[in-house]
Amino acid sequence: MPSRLTALVATLALVATAAACSGEGEPAEKEPDARSTAASSTPTVPPTPSEALGLVEGWGPDRAELDRAAKLAGRMRLPDLAGQVIVADWSGTRAPVAMVRDLHLGGVIAFSSNVASADQVRGVNAALTRQVRRKWPLFLGVDQEGGVVERLRGAASRFPTFMSTGAAGDPALTRQAYAASGAELRGLGFTVDFAPDADVTSGPGDPTIGSRSASSRPATVAEHVVAAADGFSGAGVLPVIKHFPGHGSVPADSHLTLPVQTKSLADLEASDLVPFREAVTAGLPAVMVGHIDVRSVDPRVPSSLSRRVTTGLLRDELGFGGLVVTDSLRMAGVTRGRSPARTAVQAIRAGSDVLLMPPSPAVARAALMKAVRSGTLPRRRLEQSAARQIALLTHLAATGDSGKSVGSAAGASRSLSAAAITVTDGGCSGRLVGDVVHPYGDPGAVSAFVAAAGRAGLPVLLRRSPPSKLADAKPRPERRKKEAKRQFKKRLRAWKKSESRRERRLDAWTAREEARLAVGTGIGFTGFRDAPVDGAVAVATDSPWVLGQVGAPVRVATYGDTPAAMGVLVDVLLGQAPAPGRLPVKVAGVSRAGCAGQ
């Protein structure tokens, strides 16, 4: 570690020196030294087109694929080249063919608002592929992590949070699960998924990542990131690991502000950077750079705009030769106090290859063209980025088949949840609930649980709303114009009597309802960012830290509220299945990390 850290410091110092000499806070591009080549008397083999661009192998595409891509990028008109490095968001549910074609965008990213159904989104991707004619695949991306980040709800099989993988502790199972998810995405026409998260969560103080991380242990995160990414790649979908250099240990959300990372380089090397280093070693193809102020590397500059971070740390120190994608350029962490045009150019100069979601794709494209024409951004830099993207998408298009139908991954999702479910308090075998249960708390989880309980034949009691004649209070009467005082007081007494009678009847109804529900075992469900919900059984469907804040004698972490996760939960509560998972993070206030080995 000391020698690695020394090398890193030296690398960053060189990058900093180059930046200082360039006059704009960014180093000038390195070009081959023609004099030294001419002075050499040894015959040399001319570099291939991709070698001339400085592109290396080891992250997916072979030399032939890189050379083809370099030739294609070299022949592009500057407007097309500038558009190729942009991936935009879009509005509505109709294919944004004109925008992609007119600006020659690399592609688009779909969000929930763009998705109405599986058939609709499949049609969008098919229309883009068919009508935007390219000699390489389009960058058709989606944020489909599982858990709280799923843009295709209702259009693809649901998966639990990525923390499920850390709880299950089986990289082979992780690979199978994300291969199945990737096959569905491929079947819907997507070529890219912005997953998995390589962030190491720091615990309850992590407001952004949480259950999106596999664990708070760097080695655990690393092995499951590599496994999940391999699964996606095997299905022909490009995995983009994120958010370099690590978002799990900063106490702020880059959607809202620029988070400050105060760790030393040594601390980063020992924690946040571990999964990314392992991913590079494993040859993973793409990395997303987040918007983080890394004080030990490039103070007060978002990492996505920092050459010291993107090139110095990721490319030079970690040795990453693949595709670098910015996080969304609409986020406050990078927009506040900066012009979109300057941001686009600075991100490419820093070392990124894809500009994700610039506020205006047209403005970003124009800014890149202007920078090239003015000499502040070498055309070669855009050719590198475009060639990496084209080579990688072409390489993955030849991998796997045409994808699988929606629903084909449901079994893999259930297998992951079955291996992850964790009981921290209460029995590790046998039935954990009575003959009847009363679920409450997070509405989505309760709904999925009720359906699963029904399939298993477990009776469920749900709280009913009181009749409207008891629940709806009549407003206090106002004195009418010219109404006699005695008459008004009479109406007021009648109203008070009526309301008193209604309230007594409501109290009686409520007491009967409580008595009815008391027959069932109370199961409190706590979902994403919910306050802890207690009961005879407490279930955390997102991050498990809430389990340490309740007093329930039985506490369970499911790491998801999918139909499959709730089905697994019912089986465990009925004593029909084990709970083999173990907490992948530290949770204060629980009895144990799990039942495995008990």
Which residues belong to CATH 3.20.20.300 in the chain? 2-24+46-397
CA angle 371, 241, 50 (to 5 degrees): 50
Q: Which two tokens stand for residue 14?
A: 């060189």
Mean pLDDT of 233-258: 95
pLDDT score, position 13: 53
- The helix (run of H) or strand (run of E) holding residue 578 is none
- The helix (run of H) or strand (run of E) holding residue 521 is strand 521-526
Mean pLDDT of 296-321: 97
pLDDT score, position 24: 38
Rounded to whole angstroms, the Cα distance separating 518 from 343 reads: 59
Mean pLDDT of 570-582: 98
pLDDT band with cut points at 50, 70 and 90 for residue 408: very high
Q: What topology is assigned to 2-24+46-397 in CATH?
A: TIM Barrel (3.20.20)
How are beta strands 149-150 and 192-193 bridged, if at all?
unpaired
Q: Is the pLDDT of residue 461 over 60?
A: yes
> Where is pLDDT greater, at 562 or 25?
562
pLDDT score, position 17: 47
CA angle 384, 224, 109 (to 5 degrees): 45
pTM confidence score: 0.90
pLDDT band with cut points at 50, 70 and 90 for residue 21: very low
User: Which positions are annotated as active-site residues?
Assistant: 327
Give the mean pLDDT of the chain.
Answer: 93
**What digits encode the pLDDT tens for the residues 282-299?**
999 999 999 999 999 999
Rounded to whole angstroms, the Cα distance separating 269 from 11 reads: 14
**What digits encode the pLDDT tens for the residues 492-532?**
999 999 999 999 999 999 999 999 999 999 999 999 999 99
Query: In a 3-state reduction of DSSP, which class is residue 117?
Result: coil
Q: Is the pLDDT of residue 383 over 90?
A: yes
Farthest CA pair distance, the chain: 118
**What digits encode the pLDDT tens for the residues 135-154?**
999 999 999 999 999 999 99
Which of the residue ranges 232-236, 334-338, 392-396 would you say has the lowest mean pLDDT? Answer: 334-338
Strand partners of residue 539: 525, 556
Rounded to whole angstroms, the Cα distance separating 267 from 86 reads: 34
Q: Is the pLDDT of residue 26 over 50?
A: no
How are beta strands 422-425 and 554-557 bridged, if at all?
antiparallel
pLDDT score, position 39: 43
Q: Is the pLDDT of residue 27 over 70?
A: no
Rounded to whole angstroms, the Cα distance separating 308 from 294 reads: 10
- The helix (run of H) or strand (run of E) holding residue 293 is strand 293-294
**Percent over 90 (pLDDT), the chain:** 90
